[in-house]
Structure 1
Amino acid sequence: MEPPDFVRFGRAICCDLVQASRREWWLADGLGGYAGGTIAQCLTRRYHGLLIAPANPPLGRFLVFVKADATLHDNERNWPLFTNCWGSGAVEPQGLVHIESFRLDGSIPVWRFAIGDLILEQCIWMEREQHTTCIAWRLANAVERPVHLGIDLLVNSRNHHADTRPYGFNSIIEGNVNRISIGRAGGPTLHFHTDDGQLFARHQWIEDFDLPRERERGLPDRDSHFCAAHMRLPLRTEWSGLVATMSTTPEAPATDSPLRCGEMLNRRRAHDAARLTAAVTLTPELHDAPCWVRQLVIAADSFPIVQPVSAKETKKELNEKEQDRQGRFGQRKESVIAGYPWFGDWTRDTMIALPGLMLTTGRYASARNILTTLAGFVDRGMVPNMFPDDGGQPQYNTVDGALWYFEAWRAYIAVSNDVAALREIYPLLQEMVSWHLRGTRHRIGVDASDGLLSAGDSGIQLTWMDAKLGDWVVTPRHGKPVEVNALWFNALMCMAEFSRLLKKDAEIFETLAKQAKVGFSRFLKPAGGLYDVLDGPEGNDDSIRPNQILAVTLHYSPLTPQAQAKVVAETGRHLFTSYGLRSLAPEHPGYRGRYEGGVWERDSAYHQGPVWSWLLPHFAMAEYRVTGDAELAQSRLAPIHDHLLDAGLGTISEIFDGEPPHSPRGAPSQAWSVACILAAWVTLERARPSAREGMAKKEESRQ
């Protein structure tokens, strides 16, 4: 199936610096590396670059290849096709004025430049499971006179979170006209290769690039980069260009094939088409889905990665039993990057995103691999919250991550019927429940008086509302958080279901679930809705937050239909917006409607009002559960179509301002945002009467 082609802009956007620089494209290589930039091809973030790759996959990412500034030469005339913004406020050159159009061809950004009778196209893509970025150009129309590009290749060698110190590293540049390597002692090596042009070494620092998006975030807003090479590329009507690859050794990596740029581009396009075809084959609802939904299938491919989490097998030396379990669970580890550009491997995000990223798109084997890989890191009944970017020990500061693990297994078994995998993981899941019953780290354990799960340790953030500044946990939520206990009830019901599937005794889990369900009734507020936390240090917290919606949308809900309706009504009235649910009601004195300013201002506001897009589909699904109106619920997702044409193009932002116009904020490409919306759309499409009738007719015609 051909990828969608609806993300496109003409001169009105492309030639306007404000509009073209706020719209970003993002690519991923499937190993934790990425590339990103703007339509205008100017830098606005420290994270923008053509190749950002992990020195210790998938973490420790380095910015190595920054820009390819191309100038078009036609006899005595020349036209810069790139744009640079400087600390002085100058914009020079302004190559964006020559952009006739920009579009996404599946995942591939494509520019079309028009200068007189010269029509030139440029595209950028990343090779799958290689730290490789390709840039190619071609003439869209044949001309009799010779034309060529002169391309300055700007590089760096810094952590993608860090600032550059000009002249802070001495590059070693070696090679010939077809291949040049740029390296430094103790750092990664960047290799440029071209079959069509000529490469020439350069040694020039270029300083004072302006980074307005970093300034908005209260961070240093200047950067410097090193021009390491210049490329001369004759232009033809066939694609030709440059291949850039990062390695951790000075030697150039062996290429896996002798393909030229045009063939490599076709391979990348074929990959996108194959992903879409696989998704449609296993999820027929996607076949006639709107373009924006099929674009989300392409976006979903950005987040899964192979060889994840750590260079070590697990967080500690494995004993023989654990080694045996690791061996049975498989060798090729997989995981998920939570968001681009700055997130790494976050377990909670992975579990929440897994149904949409993997199951909706037909990647059942990868789903199992992710789940079984994580099993090797379970410790005292808990899963890690995250795997640090510096390769340090996993952090076990999450109360809900383990509970989402049960739900992810339920979703996987429901579509795959993989009873063999369930039988293998079942003892570990039993052990995880036992740890929660008797108590584990951070005072996480079941209160025998009401069957509810309690958690809380001073200075530790344990729920998904996890902002922390120094020793200050902004939203500690110590006690019995509402979504944690909805997840606990759901996990117990999952275990009862698993036990029945395996013909084991389910009574103990059914009894625990009944006790938790009775205890959960304590969350009901007299006026409707649910308390956010019970039995906290200051009693029950009646703040109106979106966490309560999960008590409606989880597969097993502890609420009666009447209570579910009241939760939907309260969240709809106080929290619902076009792009998701506010993290706190505007009436609350601690509400912060704008997510802006420096680190302190932003982190202290993170869960105090900003809209979270991953909760939009949860509201839609909750509304469907209450009303039975799939078409109304599905319409709640429609504004995402417009968002895919803004901010991170073809993908979904992490958060939005709580106040209109709900400007996109945070990471411009977030895994659980994409995954949850994709999964909800498919579920609601399946539930629509007209869709069911259409599917039945198609089945009849096939027969």
Structure 2
Amino acid sequence: MDYLKFDKAQLVNTEYSLKKEYIRTNRAGSFASSTIINCNTRKYHGLLICPIENFLGENYVLLSSLDETIVQHDSPFNLGIHKFPGEYSPKGHKYVREYNMDPTPSITYRVGGVVLKKESLLVEKEQRVLVRYTLLEANSPTMLRLQPFLAFRNIHSLTKANMDANTRSESVDHGIKICMYPGFPYLHMQTSNTSEFVHVPDWYYDVEYKEEKKRGYECHEDLFVPGYFEMEFKKGEAIVFSAGTKEADSKKLLKQFTKELNKRVRQDSFDHCLENSALQFFSKNGRGTGIINGFPWFSLSERNTYLSLPGLALARGDEKMFLEVFKTSFSKICDRFSPDSAINGRRYSVDVPLWSFWCLQKYVESGADKTKLWKNYGEKLKQILLYYKNGSNLPIIMKDNGMLWIERKGVTWMNIQKNGEFVNRRMGYVVEINALWYNAICFTLEMANESGDKHFISEWDKVPELLKQSFLETFWEEDKGYLSDYVDETHKSWAIRPNQLFAVSLPYSCLSAIQKKAVLDVIEKDLVTRRGLRTLSPNHHEYIGVYNGDEEKRKQAFHYGSVFPWLFGHYAEAYLKLHKSGGESTIRRFLYGFEETLSEHGLGTISEIFDGNPPHQPNEATSYALSVAEIIRVNKMLNKSPLK
């Protein structure tokens, strides 16, 4: 494939181009996102979106967009594009000739004899976006105007014209600074060369976000434009526009752009795109290192941190990053399970701590020193197991049969609510929770045995066998040939769901080889697609094969048929364990089938979910940490070496 490159015919077709979105991030927590023709279709799109410490570190859109206008012979040609009710204005996409994501988003315009290239990137460790303009061709004197559209609002909300906004700007080196509301930092907008800022303050009303409208959300907002920068532009010249929360040295902007560009990972192959995408999820701040769950609207999630960390770090050979993230996240869990913790565990997802055991297992598989690992984490692991056993601060308790019993809905990964009620019942004995529980106990006993922790061994060594027997009695029926999803006081769910997969893929399993094969056969028949695994069999009467409609309809579809790419990682692991080298060709075929998704939705990355029905259209978050992580992990399973 021609990697992440689009031509004029594709770009001028808004039905095509507005479905292609890019995401760029930096290590300071900022990101930029839009469509490939720079028409924002979501409230989550913007040229500079960054965390604001004064507002609990949540993300805020400061600079929504930047319109360029080429002026020749006193005739202006506006290259921008915005959607308003019933129309696009201006229609700058008609001048677009090429879009390329490698190594950074760039777009080339042609206006008569003028050819202009625009490239943008985020500075690695600053809340700053840099946009470089290069005048490739010009047959007469040319002027460049840059018109910034400001939002100054939370990514989950929209702004309206109001009397409280401070619309006054102040001069800085080669530019201006403005702070529209108390608590925000100033936004410094500067150019690398001498420019004139023309004050023409105005609100642009009813900018419409197509994707928000489609999703049934409020979709109109008003953006403030303080004026425009105007400067002479000569053929062969490059000009850099900077927008950041601190003032920049305008004389260094051109060199800074080049320096930052040289740091970028190329996006010229499947592996390089995955590597680039993986790096975008890591975020460092004063509280430690974490993994952003996805873009453009997610923040950090403990469950997804443990599920994605082996793929995003270990499968890339980055042990240092693995430890930084694990230590940050695990300390939070340990705080919840400390004797002095006053947290309301009833609101806590019960599978999260159990995934931390699996995460450490993957670290051991990569070659970690078990003795050192036990010394650093052994006491905390034992403490977590005791809290499950005693039911302390959690809506879950270990029964006399060794199994974990969940006392309320909404505490597993299938926790979507519709009209205030959880869509999935999933209480009582839940299959993946008890598979994780068995795996966690066995792993801790393995570590304790190697470290000679006789006290722990004597207390827990009889539990696995009891738990294994109870697990099979509860979830397995020979005539069914697969595992039930959950069992409560009145109901045993035989809906075919992917949760049973973990009883096969986890390092320690209650199932025999014959039972594992039977489960995988059912999963392959009903759930496996070319984009991952469905969350429910199409043969089930509640199956929903297309993810669309208003918010409540989408919530219903989320776990009732939608395809999750991250589940493919666990399917591949289970399949390869069972079939060994004989299964590699099958998994490899699935793996490289994901290559075409890199240009479908979020460019160079993988979406959160896909429709259950063919052709499996992508949906929800355009870039999802777990999706990317598990595809990288499958690549490592097959190629036996870290992604580079």
Q: Which residue pairs with 1:327 in the alignment?
A: none
Cα 1:562–1:258 change in 2 (3 A) is farther
| Structure-2 separation of matches of 1:139 and 1:337 | 37
Partner SS for 2:413? coil
| Structure-1 separation of matches of 2:20 and 2:450 | 49
| CA deviation map 1:490-514 (0-9, x unaligned) | 2122212322443434735543233
| CA deviation map 1:164-183 (0-9, x unaligned) | 12225233311146131111
Aligned residues: 629
| Structure-2 separation of matches of 1:58 and 1:672 | 25
Q: CA deviation at 1:381?
A: 6.4
Check if 1:42 corresponds to 2:20. no
- CA contact under 8 A between 1:380 and 1:435: conserved in structure 2? no
Q: CA deviation at 1:148?
A: 2.8
Superposition map of 1:557-572 within 5 A: 557-572=509-524
| Structure-2 separation of matches of 1:194 and 1:46 | 27
| Structure-2 separation of matches of 1:295 and 1:533 | 36
Check if 1:344 corresponds to 2:299. yes
Superposition map of 1:526-537 within 5 A: 526-537=478-489
* Alignment match of 1:268 (pick from 260, 267, 270): 260
Q: CA deviation at 1:586?
A: 1.5
Cα 1:395–1:600 change in 2 (3 A) is same
Check if 1:513 corresponds to 2:513. no
Q: CA deviation at 1:403?
A: 0.5
CA RMSD, aligned part only? 2.7
| Structure-1 separation of matches of 2:604 and 2:142 | 33
Check if 1:638 corresponds to 2:592. yes
- CA contact under 8 A between 2:216 and 2:550: conserved in structure 1? yes
The list of structure 1 runs, each at least 4 consecutive aligned residues, that deviate by more than 4 angstroms after superposition, is 379-383, 392-396
Q: Which residue pairs with 1:354 in the alignment?
A: 309
Q: TM-score, normalised on structure 2?
A: 0.91
Cα 1:647–1:161 change in 2 (3 A) is same
- CA contact under 8 A between 2:419 and 2:552: conserved in structure 1? no
Q: Which residue pairs with 1:283 in the alignment?
A: none
Q: Which residue pairs with 1:301 in the alignment?
A: 279
Q: Which residue pairs with 1:602 in the alignment?
A: 554
| Structure-2 separation of matches of 1:541 and 1:344 | 33
| Structure-2 separation of matches of 1:218 and 1:229 | 33
- CA contact under 8 A between 1:482 and 1:530: conserved in structure 2? no
Q: CA deviation at 1:379?
A: 5.3
Q: Which residue pairs with 1:241 in the alignment?
A: 240
| Structure-1 separation of matches of 2:394 and 2:448 | 29
| Structure-1 separation of matches of 2:505 and 2:253 | 47
Check if 1:456 corresponds to 2:411. no
- CA contact under 8 A between 1:203 and 1:228: conserved in structure 2? yes
Q: CA deviation at 1:20?
A: 0.8
Partner SS for 2:60? strand
Instruction: Give the AA of the match of 1:41.
Output: N
Instruction: Give the AA of the match of 2:39.
Output: C
| Structure-2 separation of matches of 1:674 and 1:367 | 16
Superposition map of 1:149-548 within 5 A: 149-167=144-162, 169-176=165-172, 178-188=174-184, 189-198=186-195, 199-235=197-233, 236-246=235-245, 253=246, 255=248, 260-273=252-265, 291-307=269-285, 333-378=288-333, 396-415=347-366, 417-418=368-369, 419-449=371-401, 451-457=402-408, 460-505=409-454, 507-508=457-458, 509-522=460-473, 523-548=475-500
- CA contact under 8 A between 1:153 and 1:230: conserved in structure 2? yes
| Structure-2 separation of matches of 1:353 and 1:305 | 14
Q: Which residue pairs with 1:654 in the alignment?
A: 608
| CA deviation map 1:639-689 (0-9, x unaligned) | 2111110111111111111122211111111110111111111112229xx
| Structure-2 separation of matches of 1:636 and 1:525 | 30
Partner SS for 1:353? helix
Q: CA deviation at 1:243?
A: 1.1
Instruction: Give the AA of the match of 1:455.
Output: I
Q: CA deviation at 1:550?
A: 1.6
Superposition map of 1:659-674 within 5 A: 659-674=613-628
| Structure-2 separation of matches of 1:461 and 1:403 | 16
Q: Which residue pairs with 1:55 in the alignment?
A: 52
| Structure-2 separation of matches of 1:477 and 1:264 | 53
| Structure-2 separation of matches of 1:177 and 1:529 | 72
Cα 1:116–1:607 change in 2 (3 A) is same
Deviates more, 1:563-572 or 1:75-84: 75-84
| CA deviation map 1:356-389 (0-9, x unaligned) | 1111223322211222222332258659xxxxxx
Cα 1:268–1:193 change in 2 (3 A) is same
Q: CA deviation at 1:259?
A: 7.0
Q: CA deviation at 1:58?
A: 7.4
Cα 1:501–1:16 change in 2 (3 A) is farther
Q: Which residue pairs with 2:64 in the alignment?
A: 66
Cα 1:197–1:540 change in 2 (3 A) is farther
Deviates more, 1:231-240 or 1:132-141: 231-240
- CA contact under 8 A between 2:95 and 2:111: conserved in structure 1? yes
Partner SS for 1:638? helix
Partner SS for 1:636? helix
Percent sequence identity is 25
Cα 1:197–1:380 change in 2 (3 A) is closer
| Structure-2 separation of matches of 1:228 and 1:363 | 45
Deviates more, 1:19-28 or 1:166-175: 166-175
Cα 1:259–1:427 change in 2 (3 A) is farther
Q: CA deviation at 1:625?
A: 2.3
| Structure-2 separation of matches of 1:238 and 1:622 | 56
Q: CA deviation at 1:34?
A: 1.6
Q: Which residue pairs with 1:86 in the alignment?
A: 84
| Structure-1 separation of matches of 2:63 and 2:498 | 41
Q: TM-score, normalised on structure 1?
A: 0.84
- CA contact under 8 A between 1:528 and 1:567: conserved in structure 2? no
* Alignment match of 2:101 (pick from 87, 100, 104): 104
Q: Which residue pairs with 2:527 in the alignment?
A: 575
Partner SS for 1:594? coil
| CA deviation map 1:503-555 (0-9, x unaligned) | 43473554323332222223223344433434314322111111111222222
- CA contact under 8 A between 1:621 and 1:633: conserved in structure 2? no
| Structure-1 separation of matches of 2:304 and 2:565 | 13
| Structure-2 separation of matches of 1:116 and 1:296 | 38
Partner SS for 2:640? helix
| Structure-2 separation of matches of 1:52 and 1:468 | 28
- CA contact under 8 A between 1:584 and 1:607: conserved in structure 2? yes
Partner SS for 2:407? coil
Cα 1:616–1:685 change in 2 (3 A) is same
| Structure-1 separation of matches of 2:129 and 2:496 | 46
Deviates more, 1:612-621 or 1:398-407: 612-621
| Structure-2 separation of matches of 1:296 and 1:567 | 30
